[in-house]
A and B are shown apart, each in its own frame.
Chain A
Amino acid sequence: SAVISQKPSRDICQRGTSLTIQCQVDSQVTMMFWYRQQPGQSLTLIATANQGSEATYESGFVIDKFPISRPNLTFSTLTVSNMSPEDSSIYLCSVAALAAYGYTFGSGTRLTVV
């Protein structure tokens, strides 16, 4: 199944700043997904990133806060903008793997906003 390289692994950021998270996949994939996991919570989908079109955002998430780029079929970025402590979470990218292997996740980015 696909292998995803996600970075940074972790970061501590000042409130009001922005952080860009990158995911590089070792094969071409149509859709990439970005998830957020707040402390003690489960994974919540932020948006679906398709190459060549605008990302599709889930209810409660907006492009101004979480702009996404998808320049090609192997790469995507998620930016967390104008951060506040409430943005402290684990952020994960994911792609659909081979049929029998479900969805593969990147290694995750643990973000702490102070």
Chain B
Amino acid sequence: EDKVVQSPLSLVVHEGDTVTLNCSYEVTNFRSLLWYKQEKKAPTFLFMLTSSGIEKKSGRLSSILDKKELFSILNITATQTGDSAVYLCAVVGTGTASKLTFGTGTRLQVTL
């Protein structure tokens, strides 16, 4: 059974801080790892990672995958209050009919 573990479960930081969110996984025949931001109901897509060592970047957010050690990190630099959300990590394996398996999420709160 595919498994995704995220840490920390929650995090409170001050605006301007840099944070690193962690995601480790076990999946049959790994295909991709995805990061989402969830503020209210619908998760919004951040990154999809398929190859090790290639950093994906979007503004202040970046992410990288290590397929040997089976983990990924999501970095947020110069955090803003608008970054407050739950960040979800999910994996897809080729043997799982394309379904996403989600981790429990990291709840990030950015304070002034």
Contact = CB atoms under 8 A, between A and B. Distances in A.
Contacts of A94: 100
B104 A108 contact: no
Contacts of B97: 31, 48, 56
Nearest to A45: B99
A104 B36 CA distance: 10
B48 interface: yes
Per DSSP, chain B at the interface is strand
Contacts of A48: 97-99
Interface stretch (A11-19, A60-68, A77-85, A95-103): A95-103
| Residue from A42, A56, A94, A106 having most chain B Cβ neighbours under 10 A | A42
Nearest to A106: B42
Interface string A32-44: 0100000001111
Given A90-B41, A107-B42, A110-B41, A101 B48 contact: yes
Contact of B105 (A42, A104, A109): A42
Interface string A48-75: 1000000010000000000000000000
A108 to B, nearest CB: 3
Interface string B29-45: 00010101000111111
Interface residues of B, number: 22
A20 B98 CA distance: 25
| Residue from A94, A96, A102 having most chain B Cβ neighbours under 10 A | A102
A41 B104 contact: yes
26 contacts: A31-B97, A31-B98, A33-B100, A41-B104, A42-B88, A42-B102, A42-B104, A42-B105, A43-B88, A43-B100, A48-B99, A96-B98, A100-B48, A101-B45, A101-B48, A102-B47, A103-B34, A103-B90, A103-B100, A104-B45, A105-B43, A106-B42, A107-B42, A108-B40, A109-B41, A110-B41
B77 to A, nearest CB: 22
A56 B98 CA distance: 12
